[in-house]
Structure 1
Amino acid sequence: MSVKFQLKKDAYIKKGAVGFSFTTYFFEFLTPLFRGDIKGILMLLVIRILVLSPGYLINHFFKNFNFNSNSLFTKILSPFLDIKYKYILICYFLFIGILSILTILVWLYIGSWYNKNYTMRLLKKGYSPLENDDYALALLKGYGYLEYTEEEKEDSKKMELYKNIVETVKKDEKTKYYIFLIYFIIIFVIAVTTNYLAISKVGDITYLEAIRAAGI
């Protein structure tokens, strides 16, 4: 989870955040939805559609392909019909795997970007930390959301306090990244094992034989 703190503007209080947003990675546009961030919802919805479209189109094609020997499309694909079906599956799984990796990378970037984008927009609207909230100020300035004042730079005790707060938070963030890495390794092993078992069950039939066996 990211580290949150309160920001105030007049009588309104909202939560700013720093660090990687795991909720944005896993739940995507639901995170800005719960925050009431309309702009964030629209941005993440558009990203979701763009990222998922290639995989959806490929899956739609494989699930809805109708074999018709007289169609132009089938004639174009005819050189591939005698290829072993397991090779087709290997190419398919590799393609989906690459798309999945790209999707993960995109959402990892979004997860690390969204909190800063959201909090910076709040600051530009006039929201600011509560009075004497050194914790929020340390995080906002340590993560580069705000600049240190000359008075703060000359106050060694305050700068040391800010430094300790930021280092503690970043240390906790690093621990979360290791947990995330273990999660990815588990998902990778499950995906490879599942796909390997699916390919091993196919046998040596050709793509044409597989299509006919499926009744397409």
Structure 2
Amino acid sequence: MELRAKGERAVLVGDDGTGAREVDVDSLALGGELTAALHEWAKVVHAVRRSVPAGAPDPEPESGDSATAVVSRRGHQLAERVAAVMGAPVRYEDPLSGEVSIVEPPVAAEAEPATAAEPAEPTPWGTGLLVAGFSLALVLFAVLTLAITLYETNPLLALLSNAVISGGLLPSVWLARNVPTWRWVAVGVAAGIALGWLALPFIVFG
């Protein structure tokens, strides 16, 4: 496609297979700010052209005319923006000098290679089961010792002590179930509480 200034309007000209077709930039999804900038540039080009006497050649940007140089640079910058938005090369013919250039869309930065996923650490079954076993023994010993001591006073107190210990420890067990290292402690504590309840009938009714 080619960016042109036609009168006071900016247009894009492209070949649709049947010939050159002129499209007003207002009909393209270029964004309001870019569209307005294109038409403003076209108006300045039109004004510069009108300031040139009839029959005189168009002013060259290199001639020292600062306004002409600014118009030419501005047109090239807008062509770069259009190429970036459209994702396609834009042919830009300087409306004052006639110089033609092809503006390529910016090359997208290459995506950084995905970081290889770190291999999962092996589950420490040996150490974990040792910690779980120690926790189980400690909790079971504490539950049974308290239950036996309270049973001598009142059998219902043995049952109540188990309920209090279970209610106090289970929330912590639930929170620690997915925490590394502490999950093994949680397994041991849960198992100790469960075995304590299984052993309680033998204490109460034994």
Instruction: Calculate the TM-score normalised by the size of structure 2.
Output: 0.25
Q: Which has the higher contact order (CA 8 A, sep 6+)?
A: 1
- Higher percent of residues as helix: 1
Instruction: Calculate the TM-score normalised by the size of structure 1.
Output: 0.24
- Higher percent of residues as strand: 2
Q: Max radius of gyration: which structure?
A: 2
